[in-house]
């Protein structure tokens, strides 16, 4: 499983507990320490509250500080590290966390621009990919995982979620294979009926 591009992984404002949980959304991945998993994290971002942003600023001296963003001194994997943003969007100060590749010097600026573009849209909406990422981010570890040896070889290591099937009971299904009805059922009520956004 490889993810890429700059992508929003949680709808709404993550509180401190959610923020720490999402720092390693891929903790259960197979072979966690066996290779370079930078592509899983590179480009992920989500909105946080100001107390969480300020807390992270005070944890360690930043690696660097540039106006509206700072980088954490510790890397997650390879050259991927946390970048925290304080951005003025539509007249409001908002705070964000993102994973940028410091080996790519333009990565933090591209992420900042992508966040501003995404959060400046006049209509609140979500793409299918954002819906799936939100489901992954908000599902408890006991109810999400990765396809293992019992799955066909082409499906192994793909993300899975547990579905409640009513009379049929529960079953595991690949995250990217969820039907629109299953996606809607897994989302919180306030996100189910948001219009579809056109992916940028």
pLDDT confidence tier of residue 36, bands split at 50, 70 and 90: low
Report if residue 83 sits inside a domain.
Answer: yes
Report the sign of the C-alpha dihedral through residues 49, 53, 54, 56, in that order: positive
Asked whether residue 184 carries a pLDDT value surpassing 90, the answer given is no
Report if residue 32 sits inside a domain.
Answer: yes
**How do residues 149-163 score in pLDDT, each as one tens digit?**
888 888 888 888 988
The pLDDT value given to residue 200: 47
Domain range holding 30? Answer: 7-119
Q: How many domains does the chain have?
A: 2
160 close to 150: Cβ distance less than 8 angstroms: no
The pLDDT value given to residue 150: 87
Is residue 61 located within the same domain as residue 143? no
**How do residues 84-117 score in pLDDT, each as one tens digit?**
999 999 899 999 999 999 988 899 999 999 999 9
Pairing of strands 170-174, 159-164: antiparallel
Return the number of other C-beta atoms located less than 10 Å from residue 126's C-beta: 19
What predicted TM-score, i.e. pTM, was given to this entire model? Answer: 0.84
The last residue of a domain, from among 89, 119, 149: 119
Asked whether residue 24 carries a pLDDT value surpassing 90, the answer given is no
Report if residue 200 sits inside a domain.
Answer: no
Report the sign of the C-alpha dihedral through residues 108, 67, 17, 58, in that order: positive
Is residue 163 located within the same domain as residue 85? no
Q: What is the mean pLDDT of the chain?
A: 85
Q: What is the mean pLDDT of residues 45-51?
A: 95
Report if residue 2 sits inside a domain.
Answer: no
Is residue 97 located within the same domain as residue 155? no
Asked whether residue 122 carries a pLDDT value surpassing 70, the answer given is no
């Amino acid at each position: 499983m490889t993810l890429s591009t700059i992508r929003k992984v949680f709808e709404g404002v993550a509180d401190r507990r959610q923020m720490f949980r999402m720092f390693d959304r891929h903790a259960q991945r197979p072979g966690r320490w066996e290779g370079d998993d930078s592509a899983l994290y590179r480009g992920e971002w989500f909105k946080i509250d100001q107390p969480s942003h300020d807390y992270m600023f005070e944890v360690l001296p930043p690696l660097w500080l540039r106006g509206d963003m700072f980088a954490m001194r510790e890397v997650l994997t390879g050259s991927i590290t946390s970048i925290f943003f304080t951005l003025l969007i539509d007249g409001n100060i908002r705070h964000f966390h993102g994973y940028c590749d410091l080996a790519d010097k333009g990565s933090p600026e591209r992420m900042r621009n992508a966040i501003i573009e995404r959060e400046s849209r006049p209509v609140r909406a979500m793409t299918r990919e954002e819906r799936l990422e939100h489901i992954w981010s908000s599902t408890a570890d006991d109810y999400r995982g990765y396809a293992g040896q019992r799955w066909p070889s082409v499906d192994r290591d793909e993300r899975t979620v547990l579905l409640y099937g009513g009379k049929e009971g529960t079953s595991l299904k690949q995250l990217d294979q969820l039907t629109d009805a299953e996606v809607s059922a897994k989302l919180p009520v306030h996100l189910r009926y948001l219009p579809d956004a056109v992916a940028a």
